[in-house]
Amino acid sequence: MSGIDIIATGLKFPEGPVAMPDGSFVLTEIARRTVTRISARGEKTILADTGGGPNGLAVGPGGKLFLANNGGFDFFEDANGIRVAGQAKDYSGGRIEQVDPVSGAITEIARRANSGFDLRGPNDLVIDRSGAIWFSDLGKRRARELDYGGVYWLSPDRKTLREVAYPVLTANGIGLSPDEKTLYVADTEGGRLWAFDILGPGEVRKDQPTPHGGRLLYRGGGTGAYHRFDSMAVEAGGNICVATLVEGGITVVSPAGALVEFVPMPDRFTTNICFGGSDLRTAYITLSQSGRLASMRWPRPGLPLNFLNT
């Protein structure tokens, strides 16, 4: 596809890309169970062997990496590449972890919410200006059972893990508006983008007649279309860019809930997007079924991330 450059290949279901200030990238390889560093030339080195299912990744205070570990997926592989096939047989429980960006040392920092509920499958995370972590939990799918997902908040001192919204069928991508007054959550199987007004630390408005009280911002697809939403990034102007499965691409939605555009990608399992470059107008996109990290020029700049100097 024209306008797309491939930076790295041979990745095992990549997710959670972060464009680092030195021109390198860190991302997760869920099927390899690693956090992987990729040089600007596409050279791969393993930063950390995490076990479980390393998923979303973000840079937080002190330059530390924070990881949403879903506890492990099984995978199905065929001539088209890799696909998720439910909970791993050796599932090790969901948790949030801190990864040292130099040594790769891993420290578990959260596993059980204040409600007494153990995390099932932390998926994606975003860190606000205070250093608090907002994250999604996808839940877990087994052959004939499904654990619902939800949204959680981990305090800056990492002592309070609060359940923010529950249940969300399959909570996946998560992001903050530029003013950090709105929390966005993508629901994979529902193909929906939800919005929550933030009232305070770990507290959102839940006044809608929905299972979790959030408001429906956008529903993907139409007659005959099948959309599943994955992770997201937010543009500086406030648009929400949601990686879209099955159709394969990036769905861009305005803060008012209107479709801005759909950017097709050459992989049905387009799972994540982040922004980098000196002007934050280069999009880096994980093409997970085919195991590639791609880049392309984006028409608008991305939102600068807290604690990451680009």
For the full predicted model, state whether its pTM sits above 0.85.
yes
Residue 224: per-residue pLDDT: 64
The sign one gets for the Cα dihedral 296, 297, 301, 305 is: positive
Is residue 44 a part of any domain in this protein?
Answer: yes
Residue 124: per-residue pLDDT: 98
Is residue 305 a part of any domain in this protein?
Answer: no
Tell me the one-letter amino acid at 260.
V
Residue 2: per-residue pLDDT: 58
- Which residues have a Cβ under 8 Å from the Cβ of 148 and sit 6 or more positions away? 139, 166, 167, 168, 169
Under 8 Å between Cβ of 120 and 94:
yes
Alpha-carbon span 173 to 170, nearest angstrom:
10
- Half-sphere exposure (Cβ direction) of 211: Cα atoms closer than 13 Å: 13
User: What is the C-alpha end-to-end distance of the chain, expressed in Å?
Assistant: 27
Is residue 208 a part of any domain in this protein?
Answer: yes
Is residue 306 a part of any domain in this protein?
Answer: no
- pLDDT block averages, 10 residues each, the chain of length 310: 87 97 96 97 96 98 96 92 93 97 96 89 98 98 94 97 96 98 96 97 97 96 78 98 96 98 96 96 98 97 88
Range of the domain at 257: 4-297
Q: What is the DSSP string of 191-251?
A: TEEEEEEEEETTEE---SSSSSSPEEEEE---TT---EEEEEEEBTTS-EEEEEETTTEEE
42: domain CATH number? Answer: 2.120.10.30
Is residue 40 a part of any domain in this protein?
Answer: yes
Is residue 310 a part of any domain in this protein?
Answer: no
Total domain count, the chain: 1
Alpha-carbon span 260 to 251, nearest angstrom:
8
Is residue 303 a part of any domain in this protein?
Answer: no
Is residue 176 a part of any domain in this protein?
Answer: yes
